[in-house]
Structure 1
Amino acid sequence: MSTSPTVLAVAAAATHEFSKLPRTEIRLLEGLGVEGDAHAGQTVKHRSRVRVDPTQPNLRQVHLIGAELHEELLRAGFDIGPAALGENITTQGLDLHALPVGSRLRLGSSAVVELTGLRNPCGQIEAFRPGLLAQVLSRTRDGTLIRKAGVMGVVIAGGVVRPGDAISVSLPALPHRLLDRV
């Protein structure tokens, strides 16, 4: 496995399905998200968020999951591959959850995604595979909830993203804020 962060897979879905469809490439559109994806737009597109306030800014334009989660799930008996959990971009060699809010990921030659927070795993994950929700949620010794179902971001600069593309990370200015659910 490469030690340099890379894009392992990309995916999109035009409808609100749980899993997305693997693609050979996706196009990120500045301020909108993944071209042709049901979650693209300046305002929220996740159905539960739309019901609450459809005018909220869309902080969940792009969903990223590390392949390391897929490996962890496989060890727990869940054979889950890229796009199955609804992510647009599967990364490899990058601890997404350790990055602070505002981290910018350059994907390939021009696309840039700024991290806004954590995906909040919900009952859809349990409906997809019974027992899976417990695998993507855990608690620290002090009871703090840990969400491991990926991170969310917004598109700062558009461009095409393909499997094999390099990922570089730019951290925001200090002080850093931990990712929290968005």
Structure 2
Amino acid sequence: MGKVLAVCTSAVRGVQKKDRGAALFVANHGLDGDAHAGDWHRQVSLLSADEIAAFNARGADVAPGAFGENLVVEGIDFRTLPVGTLLRCGEVLLEVTQIGKACHHHCAIFHKMGDCIMPREGIFTRVLEGGRIAVGDEMTVQPRDTPLPLQAAVITLSDRCAAGERQDESGPAVARRLQEAGYTILEQLVLPDGREGLTKALIRLADQRQPDLILTTGGTGFSPRDLTPEATLDAAERLAPGIAEAMRAASLRITPRAMLTRAVSVIRGRTLIINLPGSPKACTECMDVFLDQLPHAHALLRGERMDCAR
């Protein structure tokens, strides 16, 4: 159980928020009058009062809202909560949608201290049920009545698609197939071939948004720019080679050129990452191999099951 110490808003983005003492939280929108409210997954940001106090002990001297957070709460270690956690504060019900954030432009706090805690300690939520939150209100972590729906992200690797020279057909085909299988698509990206950009995207998605599955398409061949497997291995914490092996074995029954694919399958956190070929047809054929087996894999990664026996 935690206690709300500050309720902060700002009318424009990119500035520090001010403690208003109380605010109205609107379902599927966010805080009334706050610049970050809207139809997206980062409607309300939260930060632990303990983390702010520890940062101030280093000489930061920051007030509530200085990091752009909406709610400052003591007694809950937000960084340990997985995506999908529910937070109840009176009438308001929040769902955690992202852990931490990328810092693209260093703020004044970073320039002063050489550090900022919001990118690694802050969390983001959407408002499921609206109401009013005021300083002094209690907040609790509420158990979910049903499991979080399966969530996925799709990344297309193609220099020409990223440059707008060719339409991406594989990414949308993969996303449609996942939606038909019951997944919610969190993000669908098109990136140039190469290593660094994909590695950063995989780490961001797996660590911050924590989808059950990330499927990449493209960049698995022998061309110099085909570096999807290397980028995926850079982001990996554990290997899951059986999936890639099964795809190659099945594809070899269709074409002998399947032996030339270098696709890998790995795990980061609770996220399974699988490389697919570049063509829509080959993507569909490969997804036929593993898609039915993934619910069991996701249950194991989520900790909902502890064995693989039939």
> Could you tell me which residue of structure 1 aligns to residue 142 of structure 2?
170
Please give the per-residue CA displacement for 1:131-162, whole angstroms capped at 9, x wherever unaligned.
5453538xxxxxxxx812x1000000000000
With over 3 angstroms needed to count, the CA separation of the structure-2 counterparts of 1:133 and 1:27, relative to structure 1, is farther
Q: Displacement, 1:74? A: 1.4
What SS does the aligned partner of 2:208 have? coil
Q: Distance in 2 between matches of 1:131 and 1:102?
A: 34
Give TM-score scaled by structure 1 length.
Answer: 0.74
Residue of structure 1 aligned with 2:130, choices 152, 158, 162: 158
Please give the per-residue CA displacement for 1:45-97, whole angstroms capped at 9, x wherever unaligned.
xxxxxxxxxxxxx1100010111111110122211221111111100100011
- 1:23 has 2:20 as partner: yes
Q: Distance in 2 between matches of 1:114 and 1:30?
A: 11
Q: Displacement, 1:16? A: 1.4
What pairs with 1:13-162 in structure 2 (closer than 5 Å)?
13-42=10-39, 58-107=40-89, 109-132=90-113, 134-136=115-117, 147-148=120-121, 150-162=122-134
Give TM-score scaled by structure 2 length.
Answer: 0.45
Given residue 71 of structure 2, which amino acid in structure 1 is its aligned partner?
A: I
What SS does the aligned partner of 1:180 have? helix
Q: Distance in 2 between matches of 1:6 and 1:165?
A: 6
Please give the per-residue CA displacement for 1:83-127, whole angstroms capped at 9, x wherever unaligned.
1111111001000111111111111x2011100012315154443
Kindly indicate whether the alpha-carbon contact (under 8 Å) linking 1:26 and 1:35 is maintained by their aligned counterparts in 2: yes
Q: Distance in 2 between matches of 1:171 and 1:125?
A: 36
Higher helix share: 2
> Could you tell me which residue of structure 1 aligns to residue 179 of structure 2?
none
Kindly indicate whether the alpha-carbon contact (under 8 Å) linking 2:109 and 2:116 is maintained by their aligned counterparts in 1: no
CA RMSD of aligned residues (A): 2.6
Please give the per-residue CA displacement for 1:20-65, whole angstroms capped at 9, x wherever unaligned.
11102111100001111111111xxxxxxxxxxxxxxx11000101
- 5+ residue gaps, structure 2, are 152-205, 210-310
What SS does the aligned partner of 2:111 have? coil
Q: Distance in 2 between matches of 1:159 and 1:168?
A: 15
Q: Displacement, 1:18? A: 2.4
Kindly indicate whether the alpha-carbon contact (under 8 Å) linking 1:7 and 1:89 is maintained by their aligned counterparts in 2: yes
Equivalences, count:
153
Structure with the bigger RCO (C-alpha within 8 Å, sep 6+) is 1
Given residue 99 of structure 2, which amino acid in structure 1 is its aligned partner?
A: L
With over 3 angstroms needed to count, the CA separation of the structure-2 counterparts of 1:39 and 1:82, relative to structure 1, is same
With over 3 angstroms needed to count, the CA separation of the structure-2 counterparts of 1:70 and 1:121, relative to structure 1, is farther
